[in-house]
A and B are shown apart, each in its own frame.
Chain A
């Protein structure tokens, strides 16, 4: 493993490998992942380039790229990677590291994706389950885009596609406790 010039501290490559359980060094840049990835055209750097950037230790650049936010964890790439690298796990590792180190990509798209996930988790924390209409409504309010998908709403509501009711789970307390402990675990590592 390359540890040159790091004075005993973990390199970015080490951090990603440890967190993902993959070995990014194995990547030989064939690009098969890029051809497979359904969202590579939206990424600042497609998976292959992210792999190389990790090897080169470009920590900031990787954290700030939108690639790991766009990854849908569809696992199409890893199924075809000739080096059998768990690419979505690598993407996830980069994302978790970036979140834990408080890196914020403030492009509009990434902000919206992040907001969606925040609202989703918030909903589980409060109710133990997810309620789709509330989810949509809160997303629109919090992104100040009140009329997004409004053309779908009447149809979806009429057809009973989206339930209105929200009732907390019996075990809402257990879920809150779980969130608290999980948060602590996240920080302690």
Chain B
């Protein structure tokens, strides 16, 4: 049995509880034991780095220092924002011992930062430490028939010098995992566009616009559903979808799954355990495609559309 230090993040007990609970099911099948960081604290995303420099490092550092006391040397993080703050802090501290020393003064009582723990997003952990082949072997109920658009957002693969994972422009790790589950990943050009992130509450207009474009492109790619690995992306695309539909006057009706929900489904867990009722956009329509035989795709030429002038230089 493998062991993994786990940082759940604040939303694990709130908006993204279904991510947390299905992640645990998946890891049970994959024979990985999670060890929570004792007494972990909020990493400060998405506000600390906006307002202050020191706090933005201090909050994640406390978790890193606490994690270093555990035996495992890899920390897995479900939430993409938490992952990014933690990883940025780790990389900057390791590169700059002077800075690490200064920030360490804020958490002296917890201990000295050593830099011995590696930080990975759960997606990265699945891809690098578990491997697509192992995931494929565990599938008992193929998702064949389901077409999904894999949406990575900004934080899982960017900035590339920090994450050192997959491609910052057109990542494929989640697509490969979904295909291993039997699903078909569509060709989706908005994989790493921003959903509006933390503006969900303070600047809803931006989220409606940006997430609206992601939904439109996912639909156009022919997907029945969107797959994500980030709580912020999930809530912007799912919870705000009715608002976006109203605003744009279109009906998308495209559910937004966490990758772990689909993995758990393919690993044979009953749908009743996967927290589908928590979704704002109902999932049944999309899931009904599982088992349907896909028509052989015609070789159509992809139309080359002019990219909308979304961000003209003023």
Point out residues on A near B: beta carbons under 8 Å.
Answer: 19, 31, 34-42, 45-46, 48, 70, 72-76, 78-79, 86, 88, 92, 95-96, 99, 109, 112-113, 115-118, 120-121, 124, 128-133, 135-136, 139, 148-149, 152, 155-156, 159-163, 169-171, 174-175, 177-179, 181-183, 185-186
Contact = CB atoms under 8 A, between A and B. Distances in A.
A130 B39 contact: no
A121 B58 CA distance: 13
Contacts of B48: 121, 124
A121 B158 CA distance: 24
B10 A116 contact: no
Contacts of B155: 74
A155 B50 CA distance: 30
A124 B55 CA distance: 11
B13 A163 contact: yes
Interface string B256-274: 0000000000000000000
B303 interface: no
A95 B204 CA distance: 21
A37 B44 CA distance: 24
Interface residues of B, number: 61
Given A76-B154, A131-B10, A181 B314 contact: no
Interface in B109-125: 109-110
Given A124-B44, A129-B42, A132-B15, A161 B53 contact: no
Contacts of B311: 34-41, 46
B11 interface: yes
B168 interface: yes
A113 B52 contact: no
Interface in B46-105: 46-55, 58-59, 62, 102-103, 105
Contacts of A99: 51-52
A124 to B, nearest CB: 5
6 contacts: A48-B313, A79-B159, A132-B15, A136-B201, A183-B52, A185-B103
Contacts of A76: 154, 158, 192-194
Given A38-B194, A48-B313, A178-B107, 9 more contacts: A46-B311, A74-B154, A92-B50, A113-B199, A120-B46, A159-B279, A160-B278, A182-B106, A185-B106
B169 A79 contact: yes
B41 interface: yes
B216 interface: no
A29 B41 CA distance: 41
Nearest to B275: A160
B313 A46 contact: yes
A112 B198 CA distance: 12
Contact of A178 (B51, B58, B202, B210): B58
A181 to B, nearest CB: 4
